[in-house]
Structures are given as structure tokens and as C-alpha cells.
Chain A
Amino acid sequence: MTRLSFLLLIATSAFAAASQPEVVVYTSVDQVYSAPLLREFEKATGIQVKAVYDVEASKTVGLAMRLEAEKDRPKADVFWNNEFLQTLRLNRLGLFTPSGIPSQALPQFLTSDGMWVGLGARARVFLVNKNLVQPEDYPRSLRDLGAARYPAGKTGMALPLFGTTATQAAAMVAKDGKTDTLLFFQKIKALAVRMLPGNSTVRDLVVSGELAFGLTDSDDAQGALDRGAPVEVIAPDQDTTGTFVVFGTVAMLKNCSHPEEAKKLIEFLLAAENRLVATGAFQWSLQDATCAMFPQGLKTWDIAPEKILEQYPVSSQEMRELFVK
């Protein structure tokens, strides 16, 4: 009898585990920020979240490739991206389906057919080491990169070959044209601005004092601020064109295995956008258009995301020709 009870207990547990609702999410939002929120969703709804995380080094490309490879038999239910280019590309391949969850985001941060929705945004900013640069010398424009008033080799940015810097380069081509963009980056190179493998490396070198200032993402800058580094964050070109903003997205996969759970997760994430901003994952809420890092407001480039995607291959090739030699 005891043996039978034990076997029944095992069988019941296995059945309970198998029947627990679950949702699979592929996310490129840093695990440090996304994991706690997903755990909170689990506790609130009882839906088990199975996540696949990404690392900055692969710049979301790995996740996008997986989704494309799995499109005939999707494992993921939700794709939660910290940028938008890969989302646009996958949308063109027909991987998504409308979730039906309403969003308050501005029109440029969602699609009319509801295939994806914008969720949080980061801005391209200068991170300045206050011990090395006086307030009157703070950089105010992208043109200040490599300016004569800063020692040679003491300003830096990430290589415009991948990630948000590459996206910004494509956005510059869409905004200013290929010629002007190339001239800008040729000048950057000629002025010996240090080109580094990633935005977090820019942050680390500014914090350590190796660089006086660098162009990086606002979430990287926020991390430095949170850890009490002697840095200041400046949004470039606020008197003129504004700065470039990279927004995150969330989308539901077509023919996913857990559509109802996926919708609940998307609804939860959209509602939690302000908390993502509070933790530093993003600095701009798209639902209420507020920017925590710049409460006085942030002037941004006004370029359609689709136009940036169109220019990306051209821009990427030009940047490789310029910087890999």
C-alpha cells in the first residue's frame, strides 16, 4: 500500500508538472533586468516562463536566426527584443501574428496591423568623466567626438559594425544621406577617436578614466550612474536635430504553442514598462512618452524604422569598408 501511494504521488507530481501552463520567451533584454520581471509574471499568473536569453556580444542576431530557423515549428511564443531592426526583419518574413493587446505607444513605435509593439527605449548619449572634463567643455554634439579641445585618443565610441551603433549609422544614412554619413565617420577615424568592440567597453573605459567621454547607450550610462561612478550623461544635439533613440519591441510568434499565455505575458510586459525604466533597462517609456534620464524632455531623430532597415545593408557595407582595414 505504501509503495502504491508513493507511485501515485510520483505520477501525480509528474502530471501536475506536465499540465502547468507555460510560455516560452526569447529575449535580448539583459538577463539582469528581464529575469526578475519574468519571475514576477510567474508568481502573479502561475504560468511558468521558459526563457532564452541573449548576450550583448551576439547583438540579438543569434536569437533572430533561431526564430527564423524554427519558423516552421516555432518553440518561442514571444519575442521580446531590446532593439527593433531584427524585429522588423522577422516581421517581413511573416514570423509574427497580432497579439491584440492595445498599446498607448506613439504611432512610430508600433505597426498598424499589430504585429509588434514598441516597449521601452534607449537613447544614444555621451557619458562624460567629470574628473577629466569640466562642465564648460562637456560635449554637446556628435561633431564633438575627436574635437581638438580633447586630448587625442581620449574620446571613443563603439564600432559602427554591429549593435545600436550600426543601427545609428544606418539611421544617419536615412536622415542625412550616405555621403554626409561617410564624411562624418571618415572624420571620426581621422581624428583618432577610439573605436571599441561594444558600448559597455566604452562605458568601462570612461568610468576608469581611460577616456574623457564616449558615445554609448543610455542603459550603459545608467549602469555607471547607478554604481556611483563620477560621470555625467549628456544627450547630444538637443539644440539641433536631437539624438537617436533605439526602442525595444515585443511580438507574438505565428503558430506558437501557447497563444493565450503569450498574450498575458505581452500584456504584463507592456504594463510593466515603467518598472523596466525604473530598473534602468530602458530610459524612455513609450506608453506615456516620458524619459526618466532627461525629465525636461528629449529631442530625438524622427525617422521611420522601416527606412532605417532599408539603409542598413548599405550602411553596414560602407562601415566595414571604412573600419575593417
Chain B
Amino acid sequence: MIFSDGSSPAASPVAFFLGAGTRIWACLAVLFFLLPLLGLGVECLSRVVAGAAWELPSLRALGVLCTSVGFSLSVALAAIALGFFVAAGLQKKAWMPALLPALLILPFSIQSLTWAMVGIRLGGVFSQGWTAAFFAEMLAFLPLGIGIGTVALATLDEKLLEAAQVFRRNGAVFWQIALPLIAPVLLAGSGAIFLFSVLDFTIPSIFGCSVYSLEIYAAYSATGNPLIVALLSLPLIVLACVCLPILARMAFRAIRLTPPTQQTLFFVSPAWQTAALVTLGAFLLVPIVSLMADIGTVATFFRTLLDAQGEIVESLWTASIAASLCVLAGFPLALVCASFPSLRWVLVAISLPLALPPPLIGMGLLQCAKWMPYDAFDSWLPVFVAVTRFFPLAGWICFAMLQRIDVNALEAAAVFQPSKIRGFCFVLLPLSRRALGIVWLVSFALSLGELGASLLVIQPGHSLLMVRIYNLLHYGAAGDVAALGLFLQAIALLAGIAAVLLGKSLFRR
């Protein structure tokens, strides 16, 4: 088959849409990702040359690392399992896609602290120790687990399941066919949760548990030396380098083998659906009731919002720009990786910043800013910080969704569209709009909650909502924090409803 532009079929039908502009843009995206790491590398090297102190992880620290890995792994797997349980049970509900943004937008720190305080109030095993830390952190990551479960369910082949149903009972179809098919995607998603969990020390510390990130953070606090922090982060980077390619390979294989389908979940019984609804309801109700109890009066609620209006506007604006750039950077990169399987290692490589403590990203960008002759670049630093941290996730989601686009439509476009640009604009983009919407929403939610790296690059006269929230938390103004948290969730819920009303549901053709 020869396409209208004279080319012949490439490894994937999406390759037709890959023009020179897209390739250049994808290269720029990768370069963008490299800049903070380059800045960090230069900063560390200059410290080495200057004879600054450095240290490698001690045996004691490596012992703590093993415990941390076990803990974070169990949190990730539990969050994925429970998230899949809820996602599968409620997938046919039309309101789920609208609810997802509201679940994701509340920053992890607020979610986890809320659940930590709930556990403390419950007492017993929930108030101290590894069990308490496990439950608080697992529940805080549940929204991400639900999102990943939703994506995993989207890869199921309806025809395969229907054929299996002829020969097996529903339960056997689920355990022997459906679960093995989606397991790679679930495991790949759990990798992301694992990396987020292993970098958190606040929740384990509240319950008296020592984790490896505490070691990193203590060293950072004591020395302020990025070289020491980078060296102590090496085990996490090595772990990511080992695990990410394995998980990626599993995910690539799973996504490649499953053509786009309309999902059917005949193995989800009414009891499962009810249990999922109850679980989600409890998950939503507990923090909301806790938040609303702290808010006080309606006047207090609006006063809090008024006081924080500057930060709210600035944060929403920064997160929106960052999310848009994540889409603009992630989509071309995903297109390149989808077109040329030999380049998929790039997706894995750009995921490495997920294993770095956020302040290191901020330090790298500060170094980059020093290279610029003028300060004009500086006002964009908070945006760049969020993009560096989260556009790898955007690339992954775009890549997964590109595999699911109707191949027939792509091939038809390749034959009938007069040029790559027209095909890209009038065929590929419309087919990808739902995926791009999801990427934007996820990137927006994560960018809104970003603090560790942003603290190092916020410009004078500007402030972010998370800075205000953390200051209010320190001050003990639980009511103000609750008001801001509920406000964010309300915005996300409205955005989710708008997205669903404007487009079709993710799981319907």
C-alpha cells in the first residue's frame, strides 16, 4: 500500500502522521526534560571540583531502603488492587469519568494527612506502626489506583472475553483470562504509585516508621548540598532503572496485543458493583465530612477563598499552562515512540525524574536559570518544574491511548488525506481528543499539588496555593485548609462534568 504522500506503511499506522515538525518538537521535548538534569549534573560536578563533602548510602541506610521498598510495594499493589476493584465495579456508571478529576485533584499531602488523622482517631492498629502507615498511604493513593484501573480495563478485548464465556464460567473468565490480560498494565501503573510512595516520608513518620526518603530529606535539611542528596538518591534511581524497563515491556506488550474494544464486564456481579459503590462512597465521605467539620461557617469558607484568591488564580493558571505543555510535549513524544518501537526506551528514560526527590529538580532548574543572561526565563520556572516532573506520565498515557485508536481510521486517513498535516489535524487529533483530555486533567491535578520543587523556583511577589495550604497547616488553621481543599474538589468536579458533557464518555465509541 502506498499512501497519498508517497510513503509506504511503517511499523505502525500512526507513523503516517509523523512529520518533520512533530519529530523536531519531540526532540525539543526530550531536550527540555534533559535540561534540569543537566543543570543538576553541573551543580553536583562543581561541588565535587570545589571539594564539597559527599556521602554514599551507608549499610544502615540500605537496610532502611529495603524496608521502604517493601512498604511502598505493598502500598502500590494494594492501591492498584482496590482501585481496580472500584473501577471495575463502577465502570458502567456514567458519572465515574466526571468524578475522576475530583478524586485526583486533592493533593496527595492533604489526602494522606486527612487519612492519617482519621487513623489516629480510630486508635488501635490504625494509630501507630506500619499497619497504620500502610492504610493511610494506600487510601491516599486510591484515586490514582482507580484511574490506572480504569485505563487497564480499557485494554480488555471484548471478543476474547465473549469467546471465553462460552467455555468457562464468569469467575473463571475473570481469573484465568481477564486478569492475566490486564495485569501488565496494572503492574506498570503500580510502578508509578511505588515511585511516589517511596519518595514520601511524612505519613510513615507520623506513625513512627523510618523510611529511606527520611534519610534523604534529613541529609538535605542538614547540608543543603545537592551532591549529597543526589548520591543518596542513587539507590532509588538504580531501582527505577531496573524496574521501569521491565514494567514498560509488560505494558507495551499488553497494549499492543489488545485492539480497541467496547468493554463488557459480565464477570462483575451486582454484589461487586455494590461493594465498589460502598467503598468509593466511604472513601469520598470520610475526608469530605472531616473537611466540612473543620470549615465552620459559610462566611468562613468564603473569607478563606477571598484571602487566598491571588494564590488560587496563580496556581490554577500555572497548573493549566503546565498541563497544556505536558500535552504538547507528551503527545509528539508518544507519537514518535508509537511509530518506531526501537525508540520506546526514550519513554522509559524520561521517567527517571519520577525517582528523584522534587527539590533536586528545582535545584537543576535554578542552575539552568543561572545560565540565562536575563531574568525573563525565571517567571516560567514554576511551570517548567511541573512539566519536567509530570510530562513523562503524559507521554505514557498518550502512548497507551495511541495504541487504542482505530487502526482502520488511521489507514484510511493515510490513503485519503492529501498531507500529513491535514491527517494530523483532521484525523489523529480528533481521534485522540479524549486521551488528550485525560492527560491534561491528570497533569493539571498533579501540577496543582506540586510543592517540593516549586518552592525553590517561585518568583518574588508570587505564591502558590500549596504554599498557603502548608503554611495554614503549620499554623493549625484546619478550617482554612478544609475550605481550600473542598474548593479545589468542587472545581475539579465541575471540570469533569464539563468534560463529560462536551465529549463522549471514555469507554463508549
Chain A positions within 8 Å of B, measured between CB atoms, are 24-26, 30-32, 48, 50-59, 61-62, 64-66, 68-70, 72-73, 75-76, 86, 89, 153, 159, 161-163, 166, 194-198, 200-201, 203-205, 207-208, 210, 220, 223-224, 227, 312-313, 316-317, 319-321, 323-325
Contacts and interface: CB of A to CB of B under 8 A. Distances in A.
29 contacts: A30-B475, A31-B471, A32-B471, A48-B461, A52-B458, A56-B471, A58-B359, A58-B452, A61-B224, A62-B359, A70-B370, A72-B370, A75-B460, A76-B460, A161-B218, A162-B221, A163-B221, A194-B128, A197-B206, A198-B474, A200-B473, A200-B475, A210-B120, A223-B475, A312-B222, A316-B223, A319-B218, A320-B222, A324-B218
B64 A161 contact: no
Contacts of A73: 370
Contact of B470 (A24, A57, A227, A323): A57
B460 A32 contact: no
B215 interface: yes
Contacts of B201: 197
A324 B60 contact: yes
A56 B471 CA distance: 7
A325 B60 contact: yes
Contact of A162 (B63, B121, B218, B474): B218
B477 interface: yes
Interface residues of B, number: 53
B106 interface: no
Nearest to B211: A324
Contacts of B224: 61, 64-65, 68, 86, 89
Given A86-B224, A205-B120, 12 more contacts: A30-B471, A31-B471, A50-B460, A52-B459, A61-B221, A65-B226, A65-B359, A163-B221, A203-B476, A208-B120, A210-B127, A313-B223
B456 to A, nearest CB: 5
Contacts of A320: 215, 218-219, 222
Given A52-B460, A210-B127, A200 B64 contact: no
A324 B461 contact: no
Contacts of B128: 153, 194
Given A69-B367, A205-B120, A50 B476 contact: no
Interface in B200-252: 201-202, 205-206, 208, 210, 214-215, 217-224, 226
Nearest to A62: B455
A89 B359 CA distance: 20
Question: Secondary structure at chain B's binding surface: helix, strand, loop or mixed?
Answer: helix
Most chain B CB within 10 A, of A69, A166, A195, is at A69
B61 interface: yes
Interface string B54-90: 0000001101100000000000000000000000000
Interface string B420-451: 00000000000000000000000000000001
A224 B467 CA distance: 21
Given A73-B370, A210-B120, A323-B210, A159 B205 contact: yes
A325 B472 CA distance: 31
Nearest to A85: B222
A57 B206 CA distance: 13
Contacts of A51: 460-461, 463
Contacts of A24: 460-461
B366 interface: yes
Top 9 A-B pairs ranked by shortest CB distance?
A50-B461, A162-B221, A50-B460, A316-B222, A197-B205, A161-B218, A55-B470, A56-B474, A31-B471
Contacts of A220: 474, 476
A31 B205 CA distance: 25
A255 B223 CA distance: 25
B12 to A, nearest CB: 44
Nearest to A59: B221
B214 A55 contact: no
B363 interface: yes
Given A197-B202, A205-B120, A53 B471 contact: yes
Contacts of A316: 218, 221-223
Contacts of A31: 463, 467-468, 471
Given A64-B224, A65-B224, A162-B222, A55 B471 contact: yes
Contact of B476 (A68, A227, A312, A317): A227
B467 A162 contact: no
Contacts of A161: 214, 217-218, 221-222
B60 A66 contact: no
B423 to A, nearest CB: 44
A68 B363 CA distance: 11
Contacts of A56: 470-471, 474
Most chain A CB within 10 A, of B120, B222, B359, B458, is at B222
Contacts of A75: 375, 378, 460
B206 A55 contact: no
Contacts of B363: 65, 69
B456 A62 contact: yes
A27 to B, nearest CB: 11
Contacts of B217: 161-162
A53 B117 CA distance: 26
A73 to B, nearest CB: 7
A224 B476 contact: yes
Contacts of B468: 31
A301 B60 CA distance: 33
A324 B64 contact: yes
A66 B120 contact: no
A324 B61 contact: yes
B474 A166 contact: no
A224 B477 CA distance: 10
A70 B370 CA distance: 8
B214 A194 contact: no
B354 to A, nearest CB: 20
Given A153-B128, A161-B221, A163-B221, A325 B64 contact: yes
A66 B476 contact: no
B456 A66 contact: yes
B474 A321 contact: no
A52 B379 CA distance: 13
Contacts of A66: 366, 456
B467 A53 contact: yes
A55 B460 CA distance: 15
Nearest to A69: B366
A70 B369 CA distance: 10
Nearest to B464: A53
B204 to A, nearest CB: 9
